[in-house]
Chain A
């Protein structure tokens, strides 16, 4: 059986250390789970394996011989295949053609030999134990789970370079229970055929069901590799979280006497609700939940970007059901997908900052450019934005500074209620600290904050209370003081955890 060994991997991005002594051994014929919190270094390790990043230091060997990585071709040549969350498929083409995207079609007399093409596809699917997908079906007609099975089966076509190891990054994130079960069966087939599967997931129950061994990373370093049969769920959670809370969080400030601000009663939207809760001025409510729990939908429903039902009042007034009205009432929203939903990448950063506030920055419809520029400059300084000036296109900034552009935009309206979806995702440590300080200061001045995050230490460090979302419902609301990551994670997994 082949064995891939990684040891002593180090990788820095600027001042931030993504990997700091990560190690892993992957053997043929095993399912190996890679676990860790957000920012533990799982994605960086996988990107190094895939040749998308180069490690600053460390060893990678295959059966004892050094393995040159650094390009995706090298990773393919080493027999590694990567199945990402976002699958690359051509929806309009048939399953059999999608399986042949990166290899020549079988030909007869120079024309495509359709019968052989379908036969090859059917054979590969059968080797994976899949018999419910017809090769002539258009790829777009399949669900995400079946698409993933097709992608895996494509690596089993005859005549190609046979991979021995598969890396699956959160493969079940978008799958239903039945789809996941089919995927698990396929993974079992791969293992039985002697292949290795590196399985990245934060779903404890899946890992305990599938994995032979479990490796935990924390802060970029290797913590432990354990046999599944000889460990427990609690031990893994302790491995993942057992660190001192870094002094990343500024102390809670005394705040003015809280007054009721937001009342949410029976809020419903797609995949959410009914949800009810109250929020006071200056209060920070953390929202924890696994992906698919409705945590993003909650914020989108509040800002009015999702059709919703239910009664919501802000300081006694009904809350507008569209983003324009919600911003005008003093809400501000920082969406999860910075580039797709937040900024205008190619345009000057000042335009992104000013956009929700244009009405206030204009007289009789004419924009007061001087006032707008002054506002952008003042807020850029306040959020400690590193940019050449208001005219710099957002795309030229780092992730952390792009996020600060969105904070500047949110702060520009002196919001009464700030909605944050993963506020520090893809942000380096320095910018993280700045962002935490901003949130604290806002709360001290009376702004209420709802923060959705999958970064548990962040939730505990920032929030006054933490609401646990499960399947679109708030199952409990806990005080953040004295909360441990393990307890919070356990609460997120809830009854099925």
Chain B
């Protein structure tokens, strides 16, 4: 029983959530259009959560991703207002993400600050920098190039349904591509296996010839770049940028990875499990919104679901140990 709960409890719970909304919203929930809509809403969170998984497989985490997403969006938008071409602005924003990630990596692996403290401090810095760069204002309207904003509105036509075109959003495709890339890196390259080894036992990994410090640093850079990417996706989607628009991504991303950890066999982070966590969070948000549940109540419910999922997993683990 404990084994079943431990291995499948969370999956059963996720399925139950979907079934619940299907029953409660028979006409609107289980439709292609709604799921395409969910996938687009979730695309930014997917990118952040999946790249967050890269540091979490080492047993670290990064609190600064939300602030970095905001900063990257603002950097690109401000460059747009200065007349920079789209590729230049995007490259600059990604470079900021990479640099921020390297900063986190240096603090954690070279200087040896706990990830919680280091990334809490850089969160504050990135957030302040976003306000500085934007002057505290939202950048929108004419200043945002049409081509940049159009990306989020484009997609792959899938045909028509009820007379309206059905489109697989470009942001969804993009998030799927990032997920695939990170999955390949973590599961199929020496780089990824070494990151998992660091999470499994850092000292043993070092003695077995893994360059722990260098890999940790690079993994944080990876996560920083992922956060910047998500910030650009956000800016494209709303065709504007303000210095706080990505902030909410951080807690949701960490929650998604933790939810995912409850369904993996070894209880450790895994990219595909993280995606399952992201979908769970997104489905709840979508369903509860359609049920017109107040947004504050929604927050309480989402928090409670996370506690339930992680508790069930922890109880199952303890039962296994005490057998």
Interface, chain A (partner B; CB < 8 A): 303, 305, 322-328, 333, 335, 340-347, 351-352, 354-356, 358-359, 361-362, 365-367, 369, 393, 409
Contacts and interface: CB of A to CB of B under 8 A. Distances in A.
Given A347-B266, A358-B190, A365-B189, A323 B197 contact: no
Interface stretch (B46-54, B74-82, B92-100, B202-210): B202-210
B313 to A, nearest CB: 14
Interface of B: 188-191, 193-194, 196-197, 200-201, 203-211, 266-268
Contact of B188 (A327, A359, A367): A367
A326 B268 CA distance: 30
B193 A344 contact: no
A351 B209 contact: no
Contact of B197 (A325, A326, A355, A362): A355
Nearest to A303: B207
Contacts, number: 84
A326 B189 CA distance: 22
Nearest to B268: A346
A394 to B, nearest CB: 9
A342 B200 CA distance: 11
Contact of A340 (B194, B197, B203, B208): B203
Given A362-B189, A365-B190, A366-B188, A355 B268 contact: no
B215 to A, nearest CB: 11
Contacts of B197: 344, 347, 351, 355
A344 B207 contact: no
18 contacts: A303-B207, A325-B209, A327-B209, A333-B207, A340-B201, A341-B201, A341-B207, A343-B201, A344-B200, A344-B201, A345-B201, A354-B193, A355-B193, A355-B210, A356-B208, A358-B193, A359-B190, A365-B191
A335 B207 contact: yes
A367 B190 CA distance: 6
Contacts of B266: 346-347, 393
A120 to B, nearest CB: 37
Contacts of B201: 340-341, 343-345
A323 B206 contact: yes
B203 A341 contact: yes
Contact of A344 (B189, B204, B209): B204
A356 B191 contact: no
A366 B205 CA distance: 19
B196 A347 contact: yes
Given A335-B204, A355-B210, 7 more contacts: A322-B209, A323-B206, A328-B209, A333-B207, A344-B197, A352-B200, A355-B205
A356 B209 contact: yes
A345 to B, nearest CB: 7
Contacts of B196: 347, 351
B200 A347 contact: yes
Most A-side CB within 10 Å, residue of B189, B200, B267, B268: B200
Given A362-B189, A367-B188, A342 B204 contact: yes
B207 A305 contact: yes
A327 B208 contact: yes
B209 A323 contact: yes
Nearest to B191: A365
Contacts of A341: 201, 203-204, 207
B211 A346 contact: no
Nearest to B187: A367
Contacts of B193: 351, 354-355, 358, 367
A355 B196 CA distance: 10
Contacts of A366: 188-190
A276 B194 CA distance: 34
A351 B204 contact: no
A323 B188 contact: no
A303 B208 CA distance: 9
A351 B200 contact: yes
Contacts of A324: 209-211
A110 B200 CA distance: 46
A415 to B, nearest CB: 12
Contacts of B210: 323-324, 355
Most B-side CB within 10 Å, residue of A324, A328, A335, A344: A344
A351 B200 CA distance: 10
A201 to B, nearest CB: 29
B116 to A, nearest CB: 19
Contact of B208 (A345, A362, A365, A409): A409
Most A-side CB within 10 Å, residue of B188, B191, B193, B266: B193
Contacts of A367: 188-190, 193
A409 B197 CA distance: 14
Nearest to A363: B190
A233 to B, nearest CB: 38
Contacts of A335: 204, 207
A75 to B, nearest CB: 22
A347 B208 CA distance: 15
Contacts of B207: 303, 305, 323, 333, 335, 341-342
A323 to B, nearest CB: 5
Contacts of A365: 189-191
Most A-side CB within 10 Å, residue of B191, B201, B206: B201
Contacts of B191: 365
B314 to A, nearest CB: 15
A346 B200 contact: yes
A325 B210 CA distance: 10
Contacts of B208: 323, 327, 355-356, 409
Contact of B194 (A323, A352, A358, A361): A358
Contacts of B200: 344-347, 351-352
A409 B194 CA distance: 15
Contacts of A322: 209, 211
Contacts of A303: 207
A320 to B, nearest CB: 10
A367 to B, nearest CB: 6
Contacts of A354: 193
Nearest to B189: A365
B224 to A, nearest CB: 21
B7 to A, nearest CB: 14
A362 B188 CA distance: 9
Contacts of A361: 190
